[in-house]
Structure 1
Amino acid sequence: MEPFQDRHSAQSVPTHPPAAAPAKAGAGADKARPPGAAAGFANRRQALARQPWVSYALVLLNVTVWLLTLASGAALLQAPAEKMLTWGGNAASEVQRGEWWRLLTAVFLHSGLMHLTMNMAGLLCTGPTVERVYGSRRFLLLYLGAGLTGSALSLHFSAQHGTAVGASGAVFGVAGALLVAALRHRRFLPTMLSFYTLAGIGLLLLDGMLRGFGSGRVDNAAHVGGLLAGCLLALVLPERISGRGSASQARHRTLAAGAAVLAATVLLAVSAPPAAVDVRGAFQAGSAMEKALRDFDMIMTRMALEERAANAGRMTQSLRVLRQQTVHAQALHKTAEELAAIRLPASDPRAPLLADLQRMVALMEDLARMETGFARNNAPPPPADPARRAEILREVKQLRARIVSWQQTHAGPQR
């Protein structure tokens, strides 16, 4: 690898590191370090101190994408999962339909302000150092490679059942690369700096993993996949601390790293089991159920208004009954057909709600079409089958209570 010249100073990184003093038997780690390690490290750090523009650009890109999703209707603290899917979230059902681009776009999406803040803080803490060690282009390869591998591994776990988003896989990969670089070159670091660097990165990664395994809302598969990919890429990619190797070798190693991460992503993606949940179908079913429920409520409201108008003498009872048996019964039939077209697996928690909605709409259609007797002086006409009418009203009351209870139990932001 050719000696690197700093943009701002004409200082070059030596092509070979200073030789380490031979360690005596039983000597500690400090005696194995070259004399003047602190000064040598300071010189190297100064020589590598070009602006880490890729790190800052990635932070800016992530923040911009989040602001755009916020402007499109996503919530500040927790965006709906359907919104994340629309913007390119990772879901096994969609990737297996051929939308492989979701493995990449999901890396730049965040579900809320706290999610974004934590990931960008992690990137700013580790990214600039890793970018200086490996160079801007190789750092970008490392970041994207770790993110893609994390997304691909998520297809086996979190993305099987929902929509996975976030840069955490890529950030874990960057942290893993920094850990590898610190381990490989700890002999060039001052003793205390080496200890605190390794301990700090280790604790950061351990804390992230423990939080992930302790929460069902965290996609820990992306963390693990990104971390492993970042560590392996850091071992293959040429770095700029030691200055060893030719420019040709550096190019070959970079190409090999890119090919390896692409192969790993494809292998993980194609080996994922069939999606446990059709995420898009589940969202479409939810939207259809919401629409049907709104239509049903609107029909019931109109029927109640017309009944009050007829009782107040503003409409004849015969006209009210006629509209109920024709206009409103037909609207209820259409709503029943829409609900019948919705398909949910038995394991879907909304399946009982759908069944109750279908039954309630069918009962109200029967009630609307029920024949009535004759009434004088614009009095409400009696039902032809009073017992059946009472039975329908009793069951509808029970169904409505169950539907309201379900809605209250499942209220709250989506994942």
Structure 2
Amino acid sequence: MDHPGNTSTIKQADAAQPAIALAFANRRQALARQPWVSYALVLINVAVWLLTLVSGAALMQAPADKMLVWGGNAASEVQRGEWWRLLTAVFLHNGLMHVAMNMAALLCTGPTVERVYGSRRFILLYLGAGLAGSALSLHFSAQHSTAVGASGAVFGVAGALLVAALRHRRFLPTMLSFYTLGGIGLLLLDAMVRGFGSERVDNAAHVGGLLVGALLALILPERISGRHDARQARWRTAAAGAAALAITAAVALAAPPAKVDVRSAFEAGATMERALREFDMVMGRLALEEKAANAGRMSQPMRADRQRQVHGPAFRKIGADLAAVRLPPADPRAAVLRDLQRMAALMEELAAMPAAFSKGNERVEPADPARHAAILIEVRQLRMRILNWQRAHAPARP
């Protein structure tokens, strides 16, 4: 049975709800300026994604090396002095679903937060949370890969909305307050749980953005209560900006040395792919020349001469390019690199091998037939291993 005093309090609270709802509606109407910054940020993010798309990114999953070139966040590059990547990474997305989900979340939370804190402070909140998320990512995802996305900034906006709803519960109707807090809490919890369950999700950026967004919301003056004078508002805004920069710098400087030199890893991959293409081109020319010699369109001595003077140096150059590649011992491409180097060395040896010609130069015989046959067998085996590795590590098609 309810206590009479409690029953009276509940009835008074229920009776006050219409007045609270009316006051909230009036305040919301007073704050209902067009949230142009939220919409502008959505347009900027989508425009940047479209630019990357027309510049060579795939629709559903952009290559990580291209994300690095366009300004993605990587510890190895930031620690070389490219601090601007902490900001540019916030405006990059690696696929359609990535940008769509982040922008949908921004549209759901951004306009309300912008109306509560004002457009200029909303920019500070968004960028501060995004920078902090990028800085914390230097300790985790960006240690060994390229991290991109506005999710840190978007989580910061959600954190600010959560803080605003908690601080100003008395201005919100009970049901609206309940649904606002509960809905934001569930969304954040769901996103964090899914993030920790996937290696492709940069949860460090989520956590960093959420915490700093909530902190900035506590510092920044809001417009619901209307209790802050202009001077106090300026000081609090300056303090929030200084806090965002200080936290970003401190977290970024505390990051451990990068586990992977991302740029070198991408350059190594590009060198290996280029060497394999050049190897296939030289092998193709060798096959065409052999066919031409067998058909009588090229003499066997000329064919042997081209092997020594043209194709041998080509294989030597491929081997030199591959020798310059440096991979960590644990890199899964290390075995493929060794196979490529071995294959180039074998073909260089084959091209330089002395040959004997039949009477009339109609046929060519290697001076060491057994070695010649062994080289061809090993080259075929190496080529098959490389092809199998490429098939196993080919990116999945959307």
Shorter-chain TM-score above 0.5: yes
Q: Does 1:92 align with 2:89?
A: no
Taking the TM superposition and a 5 Å limit, the aligned residue runs for 1:54-203 are: 54-203=37-186
Contact 1:34 1:188 (C-alpha < 8 Å) held by counterparts: no
Partner amino acid for 1:232?
Answer: L
Measure, in 2, the Cα distance between the counterparts of 1:130 and 1:303: 67
Deviation at 1:380, TM superposition (A): 2.3
Taking the TM superposition and a 5 Å limit, the aligned residue runs for 1:164-313 are: 164-313=147-296
Q: Deviations over 1:150-205 (max 9, x none)?
A: 00000000000111000000000000100010011111111111111111101111
Deviation at 1:335, TM superposition (A): 0.9
Partner amino acid for 1:307?
Answer: E
Taking the TM superposition and a 5 Å limit, the aligned residue runs for 1:318-329 are: 318-329=301-312
Q: 1:336 aligns with which of 299, 319, 324?
A: 319
| Partner SS, residue 163 of structure 1 | coil
Contact 1:147 1:167 (C-alpha < 8 Å) held by counterparts: yes
Measure, in 1, the Cα distance between the counterparts of 2:396 and 2:28: 46
Measure, in 2, the Cα distance between the counterparts of 1:30 and 1:395: 89
Partner amino acid for 1:252?
Answer: W
| Partner SS, residue 275 of structure 2 | helix
Kindly indicate whether structure 1 or structure 2 has the higher relative contact order, using CA contacts under 8 Å at least 6 residues apart: 1
| Structure 2 gap segments, 5+ residues each | none
Measure, in 2, the Cα distance between the counterparts of 1:180 and 1:350: 47
Measure, in 1, the Cα distance between the counterparts of 2:125 and 2:308: 67
Determine the structure 2 residue equivalent to 1:40. 23
Contact 1:30 1:191 (C-alpha < 8 Å) held by counterparts: no
Determine the structure 2 residue equivalent to 1:19. none
| Structure 1 gap segments, 5+ residues each | 1-23
Measure, in 1, the Cα distance between the counterparts of 2:201 and 2:127: 20
Contact 1:373 1:384 (C-alpha < 8 Å) held by counterparts: yes
Query: TM-score normalised to the size of structure 2?
Result: 0.95
Alignment size in residue pairs: 391
Query: TM-score normalised to the size of structure 1?
Result: 0.92
Determine the structure 2 residue equivalent to 1:3. none
User: What's the C-alpha RMSD, in Å, of the aligned pairs?
Assistant: 1.6
Q: Deviations over 1:54-94 (max 9, x none)?
A: 10110111111111111111111111111111111100011
Determine the structure 2 residue equivalent to 1:384. 367
| Partner SS, residue 227 of structure 1 | helix
Measure, in 2, the Cα distance between the counterparts of 1:28 and 1:202: 26
Partner amino acid for 2:102?
Answer: N
Distance 1:38-1:294 versus aligned 2 partners, 3 A rule: same
Partner amino acid for 2:89?
Answer: A
Measure, in 2, the Cα distance between the counterparts of 1:238 and 1:124: 22
Distance 1:225-1:290 versus aligned 2 partners, 3 A rule: same
Determine the structure 2 residue equivalent to 1:406. 389
Partner amino acid for 1:167?
Answer: A
Deviation at 1:100, TM superposition (A): 0.3
Distance 1:29-1:228 versus aligned 2 partners, 3 A rule: farther
| Partner SS, residue 382 of structure 1 | strand
Distance 1:96-1:238 versus aligned 2 partners, 3 A rule: same
Distance 1:86-1:29 versus aligned 2 partners, 3 A rule: farther
Distance 1:54-1:66 versus aligned 2 partners, 3 A rule: same
Measure, in 1, the Cα distance between the counterparts of 2:11 and 2:288: 86
Determine the structure 1 residue equivalent to 2:13. 31
Partner amino acid for 2:151?
Answer: S
* Range 126-135 or range 391-400, more displaced: 391-400
Q: Deviations over 1:209-252 (max 9, x none)?
A: 11111111110000000000111111111101111122111111
Deviation at 1:28, TM superposition (A): 5.3
Taking the TM superposition and a 5 Å limit, the aligned residue runs for 1:1-12 are: none
Measure, in 2, the Cα distance between the counterparts of 1:367 and 1:316: 19
